[in-house]
Structure 1
Amino acid sequence: MIPKNRLILLLILTILLCHVFPVAANNQKKLLINNQVINKHLNIKEENGALLIPLKVLEDSFNLDIEWIELIKSINIKLDNKIVKLRVDESKVQIGDQVKELSTPVRMTDGKVYIPLDFIAQILGYKLTWNTTEINLSKPSVQVNDVKYKKTTSGEEIIIHTNKRPRYDIASLQSPERLAIDILDSKLSNKLRDIAVNNGLIFQIRSKQFKTDVVRVVLDLYQPLSYQVDINKVKSGYQLKLKLSPRIIDFSYNKKEESFSILATKELGTYNVKSLPKDNKIIVEFPNVLLDIVKDHFAINNKWVDEVELVQVEENNNTVAKLILTTDKLFKLNIYNDPKNAKRLIIKPNRLKELLDVNYNPKEASVNIVTKEMVSPKSIPLKKGARLVLDFPETIFRKVHKSVEYDEKFIEEVRVSQFNKEVARVVIDLKELVNYELNTIKDSESEHYNTVVKLELPDDKDNKELIDTLNSDKSQQPQQRRDINHSKDESSKTNRLEDVNIVTNGNKIELNVNLKNKSKYRIRKFSYPNRLVIDLPQTINKLRKESIVEPKGIITDVRVSQFSWEPAVTRVVFELPYAIDYKVTSKSLTDQISIKLKTQSEESVLSNRTIVVDAGHGGADPGAIGPTGLIEKDVNLDIAKKLAALLRQAGATVKMTRKDDRYITLWSRADMANRLDSDIFVSIHSNAHKGKDASGTEIYVYPGSYGDTLVLAKLVQSSLQKEIDLIDRGVRFNELYVLEETTMPSILSEIAFITNRKEEKLLADPDFRQRAALGLYKGIVAFFNRVAKEER
C-alpha cells in the first residue's frame, strides 16, 4: 500500500506535468502507407488535435536527408531542390523562400524530436487519414501533368493535362478577381511554372498543390471570364479545356496614320456602326465578343477625336463589345482588315484637316498659317530660289488656291494651294533667303492653330552674325550652281556633318553633334512639340537614315535633314517628351557641339526615400553553394552592401535586414520593412538549379502584383541585365514570403546562377558584384524618377 504522503506527492507531480503539456499525450498507432503496414507500434504524440511523429521515422520510412543543427535546435530536411527548416518549439516552418504555419509547434522530449504529421504528409504529397488505432498515408489517383495557355484559330484555351479522367470544381473568387479550378483527388506530377498571360483579361495562370489531394489552377483575372468546359481523351490521358469566348485583346492608336486598330483572338467579321451626333459619339458594336484589355479609356486629343472608350455590355442575353469615339465632328469610318493579319481590324476616320487662312505680319516679320487642327508641317528644301516651302500633310485648303503679294523689303508673295488630294502647300517667296523659326501656337479664343514662320531678318542684332555666315558662301557661288555631290570646289567651301550621338549616364544625358571642321551653330528650344533644334550653316548632311543614332533616355526622336541647299544648312532635331532646360558646354566655334540636358538629379529623386535592402540567407542558412564552394549568403551580403552604399550616396535612407553573417527569419525581414514604412523592398539572392547549365538573371514579384511593383521589377530587371550582360530571364511570379508579406512595392532579384560554373566565377568577382549593385541602383533611380514625375 502506497503511503498517503507519497500518493499526494505523485498527484501534485501529475498536475504539474499536465500543466507543462496540457493537451499532449503519448500513444501507439499502426502506420500504413498506401495501405501497406510500415510500423505496427508507432509511438506518436497528440497535441491540440494534431499528431506528432518522431523524426527518426522520417528517415526510416521515407528515406529523407535530415540534418540536425544542435546550436539553434533546428532541423533541415532536403526535399527536391529545397531545404525545409524547422526549429524546436517554433510554429513556423521555412520551405525554401516561403514561410508556412504549422498546426502545432515542433516538440522535443527525452532527446527525441517530434514533427507534426499533417505537415509531413503535405510536403511529401500524401493524403492523411487516421483514427484511434491507425494512421493511413495515401497518394492521390489523378496526376496533373501540365497546364497550358494556347491560342488556336477558333480562339484561346486553357488546357489541363491529366493521366485519368478528372473530377473538378470551378469557383469564381473575389478581391482580387480569380477563377479557381480544383482537380479533385489529384497531385502535381512536377512543379509547374506560372504562365504570364497578361493580355488584359487574364493576368497569369498559377498551379499549385492546394491540398494534399487537390491541385488548384488559378487564373488571376482583370475581370470576370466567359468560357466553356470540355474534357477530351487523348493518347497521353485526358485534357480539361476552358475555351474562352472570342475577345478583343488589344487596341492601339497610330499617331502617324491617325488610325485605330483592334486586335482580336479571331477575325471580327460582324460589326455595326452607329452615329449619335447629339451625343457627340460614333459607336462601333461587336456582338458576341468579349472585351479583354487592361486599359479601356484613351485620351486621343487629335482635335477631331477627343477620346476613345471600350466597353462591354449585356444586350438581349448577348455580350457586346463597343468602341465609342467621342467627337464633335461628323465623319465616316473606313473599316477594313489588316492585309498582314486578318485578326486585326483597322478603323480610320475618313476626314482631312483644314487649312483656313494665311497672312503676313510685317511688324513681327512672320507668316501665320491658320489650321483648324494641329498639323505638323514639313519643310521642303529647295536647291534653287529664295523661297520657303511648307507642306501640310492630310490637309485640305477649300479655296484651292490663294496668292497674296506684299510690298515688303524681304518678302514678295505668299501662295497657298492644294498640292494634291491630301497635302496643302504654302510657298513663301523671298527677295533674299533668310533663316527662320517654325513654331505652332494654339489660339485660346478660336481654338485654331497658328503655324508661325518667323523670318529672322538681317537687321536683327541677335541673328545678323549667323545670317551673314549663312549667306557668305552664297555670294561666292557661280551663277550656274553645280550639284554639291559632284563638285570638288563646292565641297571645299562647305562643312560636313560627321556624327550625331546621345550619351546617357544614369539620369544624365549629353547630346553630341560632330562636324568635319569647326563651325558656328545655333541652338533653339521649341514647343508643340517640345524639341531642341540645332542649325549648322555651310554644312551638308550625308548621314544615312539608318546611321542616325536611336533615341535614348528621355529623347523620343532624332531627326537630321538638309534644311536648305543654297546656302547649305543642316538641321538636327532632338524631340523631348516635355520642356527641359539645357546647357551648352562647347565653344561657339567648334567641330564638337555638346549639350547637357538638365534632368532631375539622382540625389533629389532619392532624397526622403526609405529603401530596405535584404541580403538573402545568412548565419546557419548558407543558401545555395556553387560547384567550387562559393556560398550564396556571402555573395548576397556583399552586393547588398554595395547597393546600400550607392543609394546612401544619392541621398536615400537605407536599412539593411542584415549587415553581417547572421540568421534572420523571413518573417523578421518582412516585418522590418513594414515597421519602417519603407518606399520599396529589394531582396538580393543568387539563383540555383539542379541543371548545371541554367543561366541568366531574373526578378520575382508576388503573383497578382501590378502597378508600381511591376514597374519597379521591369525597370530594375532592364538596368541590371544591361550592366551584367547575362541572359534576360525577365520578371517572374512566385509566392515568396518576403514578397507576400511586405506592404510596399517589393522585388526579389536573382542576380545569376551560383550553380553554373561560369556564373559562379562571375559572382566571385568583386567587379561583377559592383556592376550588379550598379544595375540594381540604376533601376531604382529610374523607378523613383517615374514616381517623381507622377507626383508633380
Structure 2
Amino acid sequence: MSVFKNKKIIGLLIIIFLFLIMSTASAQNTIYFNSKNITSEIKTVSRNGELLIRARDLAELLNAELTWRAALKSLEMKSESVTIKIMANSHYIQIGNDTLRTKAGLQLVNNQAYIPLAKSIEAFGYLLEYQRDNEELYIFQPETTINGVSWQEDGNQLQIKMDEITPYRVLHSEDGTEITIEIDKAEINQEFTDNISNNNYYLKVVNVPDRALLRLVIKSRTPIPFQIDGGIYEHEDSLVLSFLPQLKDIRINEENLLTIEATGEIPNAKTKYFSDSKKMVIDIPSVVIGNFNLDIEEHPLIKDIKVTQHDLDPVVLRIEVVMANGDIFKQLQRQKNNLLTFKPGQRSEISDLQYAEGSFTFTSSSALNPELFLLQSPPRLVMNLFHVNRGEGILDQIDVDNTLIKKIRTARFDEQTVRIVADLEELTGYNWVEEEKNGLYHYTVNLENKFSEITTQDNEDYQYLNILMDAKAVYEVKKFNYPHRIVVDFQNTLNNLEEFEAVEKTSLIKDIRSSNYQLDEQEVTRLVFELNEYYSHQVDSYQNGHGIKIALAKDYLKEEGEKRQGIGRHLIVVDAGHGGFDPGAIGSNGLEEKISNLAIAKQVALLLDQAEQNVLLTRSSDRFHSLQNRVKFANQRGADIFVSIHANSFNNSSTGGVETYYNQSNSNQNRFLAEKIHDKLGRNLGLIDRGIKDSNFYVIKYTKMPSALIEVAFLSNPREEKLLETKDFQNKAASLIVDGILDYLEENGGK
C-alpha cells in the first residue's frame, strides 16, 4: 500500500471521527424535565438532525413499561393510556393506531436503543420548548386544557374555556384582520370542535411543539378593532375576548321603518340632515362594518345608502342615506340596544322660544336633528330645523340686550325647513343640549362664554382672584399640589385671554396660564394659577353668577388650628403590566412593553418609598402574573391605591400620546386619582394629551381601592418607542406619576 493511500485512509478516518464527535456534541443540550435539570441523568445522541434519547432513560422518566424484542429489533413503550412501537431501520413510530414519520427512527448505539425524544415524548402528552438558540430543552406536562371556544350571546365576546389560566399573550396583525392568542403549556381537548367560524370569522388551532404553547388564530374578512389592553380579560377559568359589534343589517319594511341592526349594543348615534343634497348622515361610534345585509331595492322613499368605516381612532361607522324626495326620517325611541329605528316623520311643532343668560331655548313635540353653522359677515349662528312647523311662542324676532347676541329671528326657509338665526356681536362657539321630559323635547343652544376681566386684590387675611365672564359661568374649581395651584375648568368657554394685559403677579400667585383640556369627552377651558404658598381657599360668585371670586388665605387662619401634618403613610400597589411569557405590545424596533412597564414601575416604587410611602410591586422581575392574581394581590393586602403602568399600541404608527383610565363603577375616587395623575403627565411629559377615560380594564374594575391605569406612550409610534427605551423618559414619567399620587393623597387630607 502506498504512502499516499495510507494518508488518504487516515484522513478519511479523521473526518469520520470528527463527524462522530460533532454528532455527539450537538446532542449535549441542557434538558429540563418538569423544571428539573436531568442532563446528567440521561444519555442522548444526535442522528440525521434529530435528538435521540436512550429508551431506558425515557421509560424511567415517564414511569412507563419498556419491552425490547431482540429478534425483531423492535421496541414497545407503554403507559396507562399510550403505547408506542418503533423498529430499527424504520423511520416510523406507531402511536396507538396512528403512525408518525421521524428523521432518524430507532438507532442502536453501543447495543443500546435510542429513539426520537421529541416525537416520543409528545406521544405521551408532554410539551417541549427550546430556548437560548436551542441549547436548552424544556419538557413540561400540560398545565391546562382548552376545552372549548364559543361566542357569547351578543356575538361580540369570544370565550376560551380552560382548566385553569396559564400565561398567555395576544398578538394583533398590522392590518387588523387577525388576532392570535398564544397560551403556554396548553393542550387541546380531544373533544374540542370549532363552533365559532362563520361567514366573517375563521378559527385555526396551531400547536407549536418546540415552544410548549398553543395558538388560537382568529381571522376576519374585515379589520377587527381590538385593544391589547382591555380587549381581553379573565373570568373565572376562561379568557374572554371582547370585539366591537358589527353592522348586521339595514332594511326598510312595508311600514316604511328604516332599521339599522348590529351584532351588539349600538351607542347613541349622531344624525345630521342636509336639505340641499336630501341626505341624512348617521354616525355610529364603536361599531364596525362587518358582513352586513342591505335591503332597500327600488324603494320610493330612499334613493341610495352608502356605508363606510369613517374612522378607526375612535371607531365610527358612517351611514349616508340619500332621500328620493327629501322626506325626513326621525329616530324612534329605542326598543332594543342593538337596533336603531327611523320613521318618515310627521312634522314636529316647535314652541316657546326664549333667551336667557347667553342661551336660547325652545320645545319640540318630537326629537330634532338640526343643522347648525356660523356665518361670518355679519356674524350669526344659523339653525335649520327640518320637517317642523312654528307653534305658539315662536316669534319672528326677539330683541336681546347682551354682549353676546343682538337679536334672534325665526322664519320658514323653505317647504321643509324652519330657520332660527341668532345675530351675534361677534363670532363665538356654541353647543347643543337635548333633554326629554314628559314626552316633550327641550332644546338649549349655549353660546360660548368669554372672559371679560381678571383682576387681583387683597386685604390683611386674603388675596383675591376675580374672574368676570360675559355670561353666567359654568365652572369647577380644583386644588392641585406639587406645586400648589388653583385650577378652574370652564365649560363652553372661549379662551380669549390673549386679549387682556398680563394679570399682575402677587406674593401668592407665581404664574398664570390657560389651555384647552379634554375632560370626559368635553372640551373645557382651564385656567391655572400656580402659587408660591398655599394655606386655604374659598370660592364665591358675584354679579349674578357672571363672576367668580377665589379668596386665597395668606396664612393658616387661627380658626383652622395648627398647620396640617403631612399625608401620612399609605400602602400603594404599583402594577407593571404584562411580563414573562406575555410581552404586551411590541414596537417596530423590537421594544417589548413589559420591559418599559417594569422600568417605570420600579422607579415609581423607589420615589414613593423616598416619600415615606409603603409600596408593593405586583412584579419586580420579568415574570408573568394573571390579571386575577394582580387584583387579588392588591385586595388581599388592603392597599390604599392601585396604579397600573402600561404602554399603548395602535395600527396607525402616527398615533401617539399619553392617556389615563379609571373605572367609574368601582369608586368615585377613581376618576379623582386618574385626574391627579394625568394632570401631571398631560402637561409635563411632552406628549399629546389624550385625556382621561372611563374603561372596564380588569385590574381597575375589580380592585377595591382607588385605582388608575396609565398608558404612558405608544409603542407603535417609532418616536415614542425610542423615548420609552431611555432612562430619562422612564424616570420623568415615574416622577410625574408619583407627583400625581401624592397630589391625590394631599387633597384627601392624608386619608
Structure 2-normalised TM-score?
0.38
Structure 1-normalised TM-score?
0.37
